[in-house]
C-alpha cells in the first residue's frame, strides 16, 4: 500500500511515543470543543480531534499549532469523513467561514484530516482595494501561510452579494496575499459567485495533489474549479501541480455579465504561474474554454491534459479514462499514465498489485495521484 508522507509518519510516531515537543490536547475527552483546545494551545501543540461532528467555526488565532483528526495517527481516509467541522450555525452570519487563518499564521499552522462543511463565507475588506467581499466558505486565509492537507472540503458556499458587498468567491477555499500549502485535499460540491472551488488572489500558493470536482458558480468574475489572479511578488508565484480538476461548472448571471463571468469552468488564471502535470477534463463553462488565461501575462503550462487543448509544452487532449466518478483513479491504458514532465519528481513507489493511486512506471502520472506526494484521498 502507499506509505504516508514522511512528515506525517514522523509526527505520528512522536505523538504515539508521548514525547512531542508540545502538548497534545484531545477533543472531546479533554476539551469540549475544537476552539476551546485552540484557545488553550501554545505554539508547538497538537489539537487531536476524535471522530464526530463538531458544530463550530474555528480560527487559529495566529498560533503555530497542528489541528488534526486521528488521520494523523492512522492514515485512514475514512477518518477524514468521520471527523466533521460543520460551520452552518455561526455566531454571526457575516462570519460564516468554517476555518479562519487571518492572523498571519505561518506553515507551522496545520489543518489536517477533516471534513469541512456548511460554511457561508466571511464579509471581508480586501487589503488592496478596500472593498467588501464575502469570501472563503470553507476556509479563508488572508495574509497567512498555513498548511491545508488531507481534508474533504465540501458543501460550502460564498454566493451572497448583499448591499455594500462587491462579490463573493472561494466557496471551498479563498487565500489572499498568502503563501498557503494546499495539498492532498478533495474540494467538491462547493458554490461561489466566482471561484467556487479554490481562489488565490495576489498569492504564492503551492496547490498540489488535490481533487477539485463538481464545484459550481462563476457568475461574478468567472471560474469554478480553481481561480487565480496575480501573484504575491515578482519573486513569489503560484504553483498549480498534480491536480485533477473535473466536472466543475461556470455559469453566466441573469443580468449583464462582466468580463470574466461564465468563463474558465476548470481553471481561470490571470498572471504568471506554473501549471504542470494536471488533468483538466469534463468541466463546463458558458463561454470560452475550460482554461481561461491572460494573454498578456500567460501562465507556464507544462505537460497537462486539458480537454480542448491549450498552448504549452507536452499538452494532451485525450480522454483520461477514469475508473469512476468519485475517486477519479486512472484506468489501465490511460494516456495520463507516465505522461508527466520528465523533469518532475518520480511517482511514489507502490507494492505490486496495489490498487491506485499511481499507475505505470516511475515517471509521474498526470493528475492528483501522480508524483511523490500522492495519497489515497477517499476511502
DSSP string, 309-378: --SSBT-B-S---BS-SSS-PBPTT-TTTT-S-TTSPPPPP--TT--SS--SSSSPPSSTT-STT-----
C-alpha count within 13 angstroms, C-beta hemisphere, residue 332: 2
When pLDDT is averaged across residues 149-158 and rounded to a whole number, the result is 98
| Least confidently predicted of 18-32, 264-278, 310-324, 363-377 | 18-32
State the pLDDT at residue 356. Answer: 53
* 354: confidence class by pLDDT, cuts 50, 70, 90: very low
When pLDDT is averaged across residues 249-263 and rounded to a whole number, the result is 84
- Tens digit of each residue's pLDDT (9 = 90 or more) over 81-140: 999 999 999 999 999 999 999 999 999 999 999 999 999 999 988 777 788 999 999 999
State the pLDDT at residue 18. Answer: 45
Asked whether residue 276 carries a pLDDT value surpassing 50, the answer given is yes
State the pLDDT at residue 16. Answer: 47
pTM for the whole thing? 0.93
Question: SS3 breakdown of the chain: % helix, strand, coil, rounded to 5?
Answer: 5, 35, 60
Asked whether residue 11 carries a pLDDT value surpassing 80, the answer given is no
State the pLDDT at residue 349. Answer: 59
| Least confidently predicted of 18-22, 186-190, 217-221, 313-317 | 18-22
State the pLDDT at residue 355. Answer: 47
Domain boundaries, the chain: 6-230
* 230: confidence class by pLDDT, cuts 50, 70, 90: confident
Amino acid at each position: 500500500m502507499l506509505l504516508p508522507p514522511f512528515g506525517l509518519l514522523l509526527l505520528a510516531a512522536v505523538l504515539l511515543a508521548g514525547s512531542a515537543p508540545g502538548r497534545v490536547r484531545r477533543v472531546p475527552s479533554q476539551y469540549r470543543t475544537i476552539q476551546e483546545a485552540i484557545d488553550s494551545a501554545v505554539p508547538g501543540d497538537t489539537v487531536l480531534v476524535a471522530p464526530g461532528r463538531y458544530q463550530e467555526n474555528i480560527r487559529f488565532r495566529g498560533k503555530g499549532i497542528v489541528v488534526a483528526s486521528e488521520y494523523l495517527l492512522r492514515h485512514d481516509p475514512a477518518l477524514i469523513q468521520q471527523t466533521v467541522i460543520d460551520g452552518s450555525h455561526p455566531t454571526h452570519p457575516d462570519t460564516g467561514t468554517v476555518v479562519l487563518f487571518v492572523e498571519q499564521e505561518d506553515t507551522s499552522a496545520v489543518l489536517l484530516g477533516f471534513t469541512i462543511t456548511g460554511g457561508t463565507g466571511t464579509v471581508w475588506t480586501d487589503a488592496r482595494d478596500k472593498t467588501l467581499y464575502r469570501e472563503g466558505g470553507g476556509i479563508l486565509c488572508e495574509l497567512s501561510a498555513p498548511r491545508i492537507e488531507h481534508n474533504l472540503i465540501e458543501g460550502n458556499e460564498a454566493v451572497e452579494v448583499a448591499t455594500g458587498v462587491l462579490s463573493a468567491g472561494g466557496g471551498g477555499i479563498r487565500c489572499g496575499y498568502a503563501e498557503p500549502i494546499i495539498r492532498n485535499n478533495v474540494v467538491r460540491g462547493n458554490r461561489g459567485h466566482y471561484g467556487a472551488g479554490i481562489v488565490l488572489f495576489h498569492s504564492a500558493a503551492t496547490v498540489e495533489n488535490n481533487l477539485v470536482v463538481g464545484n459550481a458558480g462563476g457568475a461574478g468574475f468567472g471560474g469554478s474549479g480553481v481561480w487565480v489572479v496575480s501573484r504575491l511578488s515578482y519573486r513569489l508565484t503560484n504553483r498549480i501541480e498534480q491536480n485533477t480538476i473535473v466536472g466543475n461548472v461556470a455559469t453566466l448571471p441573469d443580468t449583464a455579465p462582466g468580463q470574466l463571468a461564465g468563463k474558465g469552468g476548470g481553471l481561470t488564471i490571470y498572471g504568471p504561474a506554473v501549471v504542470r502535470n494536471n488533468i483538466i477534463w469534463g468541466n463546463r463553462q458558458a463561454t470560452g474554454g475550460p482554461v481561461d488565461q491572460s494573454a498578456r501575462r500567460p501562465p507556464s503550462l507544462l505537460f497537462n491534459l486539458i480537454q480542448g487543448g491549450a498552448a504549452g509544452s507536452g499538452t494532451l487532449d485525450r480522454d483520461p479514462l477514469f475508473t469512476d466518478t468519485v475517486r477519479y483513479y486512472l484506468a489501465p491504458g490511460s494516456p495520463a499514465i507516465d505522461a508527466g514532465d520528465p523533469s518532475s519528481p518520480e511517482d511514489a513507489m507502490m507494492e505490486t498489485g496495489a490498487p491506485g493511486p499511481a499507475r505505470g512506471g516511475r515517471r509521474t502520472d498526470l493528475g492528483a495521484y501522480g508524483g511523490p506526494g500522492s495519497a489515497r484521498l477517499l476511502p
